[in-house]
Amino acid sequence: MGFTTSRMRSIVGVLLVGAALTACGGEPESDRPAVSGTAAAVPRFAAPEEIARGIDVPWGLAFLPDGAALVAERDTGRVLRVAAGRAPEPVHQVSGVQARGEGGLLGLAVARDHAATGWVYAYFTGAEDNRIVRFRPGGPQEVIFAGIAKAGNHNGGRIAFGPDGLLYVGTGDAGRTERSPDPASPNGKILRLTPDGQPAPGNPTAGSPVYSRGHRNVQGLAWDRSGRLFAAEFGQNRLDEINLIEPGRDYGWPAVEGAGGADRGYTDPLVTWPTSAASPSGIAIAGDTLYVAALRGERLWAVPLSDGRLGDPEALLQDTYGRLRTVEVAADGALWLTTSNTDGRGDVRDGDDRILRFPVN
């Protein structure tokens, strides 16, 4: 069923100025997240503005210096320029995209020096593998990293530049669990690259792109104000995770799902959810809150963040917009959110898929 603009404003105004449609205390016991940390207040956002609608499986989203956003359409391979008050404008066609299953045009990142260089980076599924290219919109593309195994699922795909100016890449195991702990495989990892696609100086193993391993399917990357990296990871049948990422650590997949691996040398997650409540894709940090866009869970989780620890998550927007893929924070502090109901697994609502902007209240 579709939502009118007034109906959406009414719902979200209630949600984001102090109360969640479904907070943790109202969840069934099996759907309550397991957490470590302390509670804190959730930031206040105003009612949403619909920036765009009718987008074909929006996946990656990255901001340009002028405040507009670039959005990746997973199945078409198009990159759209999206801004308030304007119709989405196709600005680039990524060549070689093969959209099958969960694959296609996935993450986007805008170079830190974009104003000078014009570079935009994209992670996509091609004929032979998952790979990363860079391009100037409308121009030719350059492959900077290839050889990430592909599959119908577990392709990872999130890319982002960190505070250190290096490119971080979340990959999946592409359906073969033995890849995740294997230091020679780029799959089931978080990779750390130079802007040219080379292994970054200072990585745990010299000459290797691997920053952390033992991941099943990473689709969310975000840094807090102290420069700590957090990642969202899809579980298999039991538990999804938010992890604090530290170089050289092994996060346990496939030996362990969720917590319980510390006594075997693995790093435990900070928060876990039953897979029915999350399937976490994009994450973003605004102030002292980490936001998690949930696909199967069809909600936005808000998790208080304090000194690298996470408090009790709060569920927002549950059953309001359906599957949520990407959440990002703009330079002005507004929260941008994309739905993912046209990806073959959701119930399509009128206007899907859409991009929403929640300004700071």
Provide the token pair at 297.
């869970």
Q: 56 to each of 128, 167, 314, 338, how far by Cα in Å?
A: 24, 26, 29, 11
Q: How far apart are the first and last CA of the chain?
A: 28
Question: Which helix (DSSP H) or strand (DSSP E) does residue 117 occupy?
Answer: helix 114-117
- Whether omega before 254 lies within 30 degrees of 0, making that bond cis, reads yes
Residue 16, H or E segment:
helix 5-16
Domains of the chain, each with CATH number or no CATH: 5-358 (2.120.10.30)
β-pairing, 299-306 vs 314-316, is antiparallel
Tens digit of pLDDT at every position of the chain (361 positions): 333 333 334 334 434 433 333 333 334 445 657 765 544 455 678 889 999 999 999 999 999 999 999 999 999 999 999 999 999 999 999 999 999 999 999 999 999 999 999 999 999 999 999 999 999 999 999 999 999 999 999 999 999 999 999 999 999 999 999 999 999 999 999 999 999 999 999 999 999 999 999 999 999 999 999 999 999 999 999 999 999 999 999 999 999 999 999 999 999 999 999 999 999 999 999 999 999 999 999 999 999 999 999 999 999 999 899 999 999 999 999 999 999 999 999 999 999 999 999 999 8
> What confidence score (pLDDT) does residue 10 get?
37
Q: Give the per-residue pLDDT at 8.
A: 37
- Taking the alpha carbons of 114, 336, 244, 340 in that order, is the dihedral positive or negative? negative
pLDDT in the model for residue 4: 36
Q: What are the pLDDT digits (tens) for 112-162?
A: 999 999 999 999 999 999 999 999 999 999 999 999 999 999 999 999 999
